[in-house]
Chains A and B, each alone.
Chain A
Amino acid sequence: MATIGLLRACRGKGCLFVKNSMFQQTLPTSLQNSLVTKHFSLTSVASSNAVVEFFRARNFRAKRGPFRPEEKRGDHKMMASTHWKIERVLAVSMLGVMPACLFVQGPIMDTLLSITVLLHGFWGVDGVLTDYLEKFVPWIHYPWYLLTIAGLAGLIYFNYNDVGVCEAIKMVWKL
């Protein structure tokens, strides 16, 4: 799969999947050891990772934290656990909506699909941004929020003035 190919490319040297295989054992020890990092010394050591070196050269600082629940909550008043529960409620509701849209179409199903897919997608990507990108780009949530709003506007327009998402999917599938 593409994800596996991507991981192979990230690796650089050595095979990603060969778990202590015969092939890996027949490699010369110098090549086997190159898969493990050198011991660091107190003198400046440049790692062989290009991405790390790119950011290190620019004195890039990732934000450390937030660590405490109060810091994590920020300006929100809702408990994180409540938000999590709402996310799961939406996910469980989508378990029903998705098969239903195969059998029942129409404006109500269009609206239901649009809202659930957008909301679920918004919270999902928001989580990914918080996990990986927020420490580097703290304002990353705002563009995503804007894109979701624009998407909602587009879907409302589509459902009202154009064929609607269910009909659109049917038309695409008939191609």
Chain B
Amino acid sequence: MIRASFGKGSALLTSNAALLSSRLQPVVVTQLSHTSTRSQTEDIAYKEMEEFWDKNRRLNRPLSPHLRIYNPELTSMLSLCHRATGIAMAVTVPFVAATLLGLPGDFSSYIEYIKDLHLNPAILTAAKYVLAFPICYHYINGIRHLAWDWAIGFDLKTTYQSGYFVMALALLVTAGFVHLL
């Protein structure tokens, strides 16, 4: 806790000091720390919560089933797909970039290496699908997410319709990228 206090006024400023002291009040500045701004009630609440969870652990109380009993819906599955593709891309890009930074040779040499493997074109096409689908799906579903952030199309019927549309469009665009580009 920091308290601001009056400085010692010099003789030169006595008149000003007298004027100021009548206007200014001592300012108490407390440093923001979590425990000092938390009230006593909240501390008691936190403590009770800890004790409750200790008791749960001690009695080995089972958790209510959640993922195991809830049927997968289009909404949750598409959301999971959005997150999964996002994570996959967000982890792969820095990882590959950092690896390329460390590996010897430039990028063309690695392309040549893959060309020299003479892989079955089917494998290369499959790999292109794997590369293209996350981007396409995440982009198109991203538009859907942004629409929700502006509270557009939030009701269940529209959500389901847009969900089917997004999945179909993503697959179409992926196929287009793989076979047409």
| Cα distance, A100 to B87, chains bound together (Å) | 23
Q: Mark A95-127, 1 if CB is under 8 A from B, else 0.
A: 100100000000000000000011011101100
Residues of A within 8 A of B131 (CB): 172
Contact B97 A44 (CB under 8 A): no
Which residues from 38 to 73 on chain A have a C-beta closer than 8 Å to any C-beta of chain B? 38, 40, 42, 44-47, 49, 52, 56, 59, 61, 64-65, 68, 70-71
| Cα distance, A94 to B140, chains bound together (Å) | 12
Interface range on chain B: under 10, 10 to 19, 20 to 34, or 35 or more? 35 or more
- Decide yes or no: A47 and B62 within 8 Å by CB, A16-B72, A154-B101 being known contacts: yes
Contact B111 A175 (CB under 8 A): yes
Is B152 located at the chain interface by the 8 A CB criterion?
Answer: no
Q: Mark B86-117, 1 if CB is under 8 A from A, else 0.
A: 11011101111111110000111001001100
Contact B94 A154 (CB under 8 A): yes
Contact A152 B94 (CB under 8 A): yes
| Cα distance, A38 to B131, chains bound together (Å) | 45
Residues of B within 8 A of A38 (CB): 62
Is A81 located at the chain interface by the 8 A CB criterion?
Answer: no
A-B contact count (CB 8 A): 146
Interface range on chain A: under 10, 10 to 19, 20 to 34, or 35 or more? 35 or more
Q: Which of A52, A98, A154 has the most CB of B within 10 A?
A: A154
| Cα distance, A7 to B115, chains bound together (Å) | 37
| Cα distance, A37 to B89, chains bound together (Å) | 37
Contact A44 B60 (CB under 8 A): yes
Residues of B within 8 A of A155 (CB): 93, 97
- Decide yes or no: A17 and B59 within 8 Å by CB, A154-B98, A162-B106 being known contacts: no
Residues of A within 8 A of B86 (CB): 121, 124-125
Given contacts A121-B90, A148-B94, 7 further A-B pairs with CB under 8 A are: A64-B46, A95-B143, A125-B86, A147-B95, A155-B97, A157-B101, A171-B108
Spell out B's residues near A (CB within 8 Å). Answer: 32, 34, 37-38, 42, 46, 49-50, 53, 57, 59-65, 67-69, 71-72, 77, 80-81, 83-84, 86-87, 89-91, 93-101, 106-108, 111, 114-115, 124, 128, 131, 135, 139, 142-143, 146, 149, 181
Complex A-B: 6 CB contacts under 8 Å:
A1-B81, A64-B46, A92-B146, A121-B94, A124-B86, A162-B107
Spell out A's residues near B (CB within 8 Å). Answer: 1, 3-4, 7, 10-12, 16-17, 19, 35-38, 40, 42, 44-47, 49, 52, 56, 59, 61, 64-65, 68, 70-71, 88, 91-92, 94-95, 98, 117-118, 120-122, 124-125, 128, 147-148, 150-155, 157-158, 161-163, 168, 171-173, 175
